[in-house]
A and B are shown apart, each in its own frame.
Chain A
Amino acid sequence: MSNRPTAAALGLIACHICGLVSPRTATLLRGRCARCGSRVQVRTSRSTERTLAWLLAGMILYIPANLLPVMSIDGIQGRQEATIFSGVSSFWHAGAWGIAALIFIASVAVPTTKFIALGHMLWSVRRGALTGQRERTQLYRVVEFIGHWSMLDVAVVGLTSALLQFKALGTAEPRAGIACFCGVVVATMIAALSFDPRLIWDGEASNG
C-alpha cells in the first residue's frame, strides 16, 4: 500500500464548498465549516443512494426523450416530426458531418457515457474495488466536465422554434421529447453532483 499521507491520518478534513482545511475532530464535532458554515462530513450522507436514484431517473427519461419527437416543423413539404436521431441522420445525409457528429456527441454519446460511467463508479464503490481508483476519479471529473454540454439540443430546439414562425415558409414547435431530454440532462447532472468521489478511495483506506 502507498505511504502517501491522507488527510484523515494527519487529523485534517477539507470543506467541499470553500476548500478550507481544518482540524478533523473539532470540525466533525461542530459539523460545520469554520469559514463558510457549510456542512462538513467524512463522506456525503447517502451519496450512493442519491446518485443511483437520479441516475435511474435520467435513464428512464432517456427512453421517451429518444422515442418521442423533439420538434415538429410545418413546412412546404408538409409536417415533419423530428426525433433526436432523425435530426442527427438528416445532417449526416445532407453532408454536414461535423454538425451531425456534434449533435450525436451532445445528445447520444455524452448521456450514455454518463450512464455507463456513473453506473460503473457506483458498482465498483459497492464492491470496494482496489484497482483503477486514479482512473475512476479522472473519469468522474470528465463526467462532471461534459455534463452540461448535453443542453445543446434543448437550446437548438428553443432557438429554432423561436425563429421559425413564418406561415409562408414554415413554423417549428417544440415537442414532448425535448422536455424529457432536458430532464435527462438535469437528472444526470444532479446524479454526478451527488456522488462523493472520496468513496472511490475508501477500499484502500480500510485495507491499507
Chain B
Amino acid sequence: MSEVAHCSYCGAVLARKNDRTTAQLLAVTVAAGIVFVIANVTSILAIEFGGVRADTGVWTAALSLDHGWMFWAALVLAATMFLVPLLQIILLLWVLIFASVARRAPAYKYALVLLHLLRPWSMSEVFLLGSLVVIVKLSSWVHVEAGEGIWALGGLAILLAILSRYDSRDWWDLVEQARP
C-alpha cells in the first residue's frame, strides 16, 4: 500500500512512503549505470543502403546539430540527453555506496543539492521517444534498424523514472540516517 501526504491547499504530494531499502536503490542505480553505458556505446538507430551503413547514438545526434552558431543547440542536446543523466547516476552512486555501509558520503551536501538542480534537465525518455518517431518517419522511405542501444535507452528511462520518485527530501533523510 502506498501512503501519500498531500498539501491541504493545492493537493501537491508532500511526502510518500518509500519502502525500498538503500541496497535496492543502489541496485537500481547500478543497473541504470550499466544500461547508460550500453545505450551510449552501441548504436540506437542504423540505416543500411547500398552496402553502406550509418548508425547514430546520442553523441552523433548532438554533433550533427553542430553547424556554426547552432553549436549551442548541440550542447543542449548533449547536456540533457547525456551529461545530466550521467551526472545523476554518478552522484546517486556516490551517496548510495556510502549509505549502504551506513556512512555519509564526503561532500554529500553538494551532491544532493546538485541532484535536485539537475532533475528538470534530465531527458533520456524524450530521446527514446524521438528515436521511435524517427523509425516511423523514415520507414516509408528506407529500412531503419533499431539497435541494442534503443532497448538500453528504454531501460534507462524506466530506471531513472523509478529513482525520480524519490524527491530531494527523501534522499536527505536516507543519507542523514547514517552517522557522519
Contact = CB atoms under 8 A, between A and B. Distances in A.
A interacts with B: yes
Contacts, number: 163
Given A4-B8, A17-B168, A19-B167, A157 B50 contact: no
Given A19-B168, A20-B172, A179-B73, A156 B67 contact: no
Contacts of A67: none
Contact of B126 (A19, A155, A160, A162): A155
Nearest to B14: A19
Given A144-B120, A156-B130, A18 B62 contact: no
A158 B172 contact: no
B76 A182 contact: yes
Q: How large is the interface on A (under 10, 10 to 19, 20 to 34, 35 or more residues)?
A: 35 or more
A18 B172 contact: yes
Contacts of A41: none
B37 interface: no
Interface string B122-138: 01001101110110111
Nearest to A140: B10
Nearest to B61: A158
Q: How large is the interface on B (under 10, 10 to 19, 20 to 34, 35 or more residues)?
A: 35 or more
Given A4-B8, A19-B168, A151-B126, A166 B61 contact: no
Task: Decide if the interface of chain A is mainly helix, strand, loop or mixed.
Answer: helix
Task: Decide if the interface of chain B is mainly helix, strand, loop or mixed.
Answer: helix
A149 B62 CA distance: 17
A9 interface: no
Interface string A37-52: 1100000000000000
Contacts of B10: 133-134, 137-138, 197
A163 B116 contact: no
A99 B123 contact: no
A148 interface: yes
A174 B73 CA distance: 10
A19 B118 CA distance: 16
Interface of A: 4, 17-20, 35-38, 91, 94, 96, 99, 102-103, 133-134, 137-138, 141, 144, 147-149, 151-152, 154-166, 168-170, 173-174, 176, 178-179, 182-183, 186, 189, 193, 197, 201
- The 3 tightest CB contacts between A and B, nearest first, are A155-B130, A19-B169, A158-B61
27 contacts: A18-B112, A18-B172, A36-B172, A91-B137, A94-B140, A96-B136, A99-B133, A99-B136, A137-B10, A148-B121, A148-B123, A151-B123, A155-B131, A156-B133, A158-B130, A160-B134, A160-B137, A164-B54, A168-B50, A169-B50, A174-B65, A174-B67, A174-B70, A178-B70, A179-B72, A182-B77, A186-B76
